[in-house]
Amino acid sequence: MAHVYSFFADGLEEIEALTPVDFLRRAGHAVTTVSIMGRRQIHGSNGIEILADALFEETDFADGDLFILPGGGTGTQNLSACAPLRALLKEKYDAGKHVAAICAAPSIFGSLGFLEGRDATVYPGMEDTLTGAAPQDVPAVTDGNVTTGHGPGAAIEFALELVRVLGGEEAREEIRKQVVFQH
């Protein structure tokens, strides 16, 4: 199974941070939540406190297959301001590893040049931050080794898309059956 790193910062959108972790773990992947704040406790944008698994400065990312950025306005600002995270993302993207971001966080990929000539989505009204991309009005889109998601309401579809990226359509449908109510 794949090893996934999801990066947490104060101000993150909780549903966008935790839904991919939940779904990817259900699918059997190893997921490590990583704080960039210098402490494991993260203060979410809606007042929910989250305890990350690890600190950025104490983590070796050599075994990573997928690197995720949750959104949230302040959370995205904090992630974007973290120079070591930006350098790691660039290194992993250049090596062909999969990167993913939802809500406002795809703007970071735009600033790093990851979206040039790609389809991508972002929180409505932020399309101008997708430098070089063809903005899509969809819950989640994967183009090459980049997956982007629309916003909090798209967290389930974004997480399911990441399950598909790592495990295929059958894995996505298995998780969909487990977590989505069927009439």
Active-site residue list: 103
The phi and psi torsions of 141 (rounded to 5 degrees) equal -145, 140
Spatial distance between the Cα atoms of 183 and 168, rounded to a whole number of angstroms: 24
Helix (H) or strand (E) holding 17: helix 14-26
> How far apart are alpha carbons 126 and 104 in whole angstroms?
7
Instruction: Give φ, ψ of 40 to 5 degrees.
Output: -75, -30
As a whole number of angstroms, the distance between CA 104 and CA 83 comes to: 18
